[in-house]
Amino acid sequence: MEDVTPLLTLGSLRELDLGMTGVRSAVGFGSAFPALERLSLHGCGEFEEARRLSGLPRLTVLDLDGTGIRDLSGLGDLPALTGLALSDCRRLRGLEGIDGLAALRHLRVVGAPALRTLGGLGTHSGLTSFGVDACAGLTDLSSLSGLTSLTLLSVRQCERLMPLKGVEGLPHLAAVTLEGCPSLRDFSALAALPALGELEIRDCDRLEDLESLGTLARLTELRVHQCHGFRTPGDPRGLPMLRRLYLFRCPSLTDIDRVNGLPSMETLSVRDCPALTDLGGLAGSPLTRLIVHGMPDLVSLRALEACPGLRALCRHGGADARRAPFPSLVGGRAVPSRPT
């Protein structure tokens, strides 16, 4: 259905789903649908002109997944829009025009290979969460520097992304996920995030240790997953508030020396890191919970005798916890493994 003219007489519509209909134009929508709150154009690959959607005063949710739009110019006249879907927009080159969406709080851009920059986001001070996924052409995040209300940032599968410049100094950014960014080697910008409490790094093979993260004074939870270049935590003094550390499928991890230097550590989970054979770096740690899984060559748990606060030990494979006395463990026994 390419011609939507017959619909223009339905002025009281609140929801309209034109997905996969072949619609090419939204001419007249603004005057015809003053009560419209939700509009979906997903899969309309020939729809290219976002500006035709302006003038819908009550529109709160707009789905442009799979459309042919190249930019967002003209969307500024959608004063109530809070949710915008931009997945599989293969021709999208920039986000110019989005800064006019004053009510927009959440945005995720997925599968936009033509996207080179995030221009247009720079002055959107109301955005609280932003995600970009599978945008192979994206090389930097410099346009994020003006997102002063941002609390959540997710960057996934952006193979060419190199610097994190642009995120430093964002005052409210509390949670960051970086996944599948093999060119990313400099993580120092994270140290300039005063509110960062949770950090997840996945499939970023140039991360070698925790020292490269700098000082993250308020970080309480860190997950390092499938980072093939990660060899050691290194000197952890820059993470004074870290309470939970999860290391998963890091095949180059050979030691956890100096983890006992994390003064606030409560939970450590080490899973499927086969090169790790020794837990000596845990001696003296304030740990209360330890999860060890999938390390068949782990030869000794003796270092845990020097962890007086340890209350739960979950293990599967490797050294047998029953061969070492742990007076602090409840009942004097290790807990069967249920890794998390």
Sequence ranges of the domains in the chain: 1-104
- The pTM of this model reads 0.87
Q: How far is CA 112 from CA 152, 177, 200, 301, in A?
A: 20, 19, 23, 48
Mean of pLDDT values over 269-276: 95
CA dihedral 20, 98, 118, 43 (to 10 degrees): 0
Q: Which two tokens stand for residue 255?
A: 């030691």
107, 85 in Cβ contact below 8 A? no
Q: How high is the pLDDT of residue 8? A: 65
Mean of pLDDT values over 160-181: 92
Helices (H) and strands (E) in the chain, counts: 1, 15
CB-CB neighbours of 32 under 10 Å = 19
In terms of CATH, what superfamily is 1-104? Answer: Ribonuclease Inhibitor (3.80.10.10)
70, 48 in Cβ contact below 8 A? yes
H/E run at residue 29: helix 29-32
The residue that leads in pLDDT, 265 or 77, is 265
- How far apart CA 129 and CA 133 sit, in angstroms, is 13
pLDDT tens digits along 195-248 = 999 999 999 999 999 988 989 999 999 999 999 999 999 888 899 999 999 999
The residue that leads in pLDDT, 317 or 36, is 36
Q: How high is the pLDDT of residue 97? A: 82
- How far apart CA 254 and CA 295 sit, in angstroms, is 11
Identity at 218, one-letter amino acid code? R
Q: How high is the pLDDT of residue 5? A: 63
Work out the mean pLDDT of the chain and round it to a whole number.
87
Strand 289-293 to strand 312-316: parallel, antiparallel, or no bridges (unpaired)? parallel
Residue 2's pLDDT band, with cuts at 50, 70 and 90, is: low
Q: How high is the pLDDT of residue 4? A: 62
Beta bridge partners of 178: 155, 201
Q: How far is CA 28 from CA 44, 99, 211, 256, in A?
A: 18, 23, 57, 63
Mean of pLDDT values over 251-274: 94
Q: Which of 103, 57, 97, 54 is nearest to 83 (CA)?
A: 103
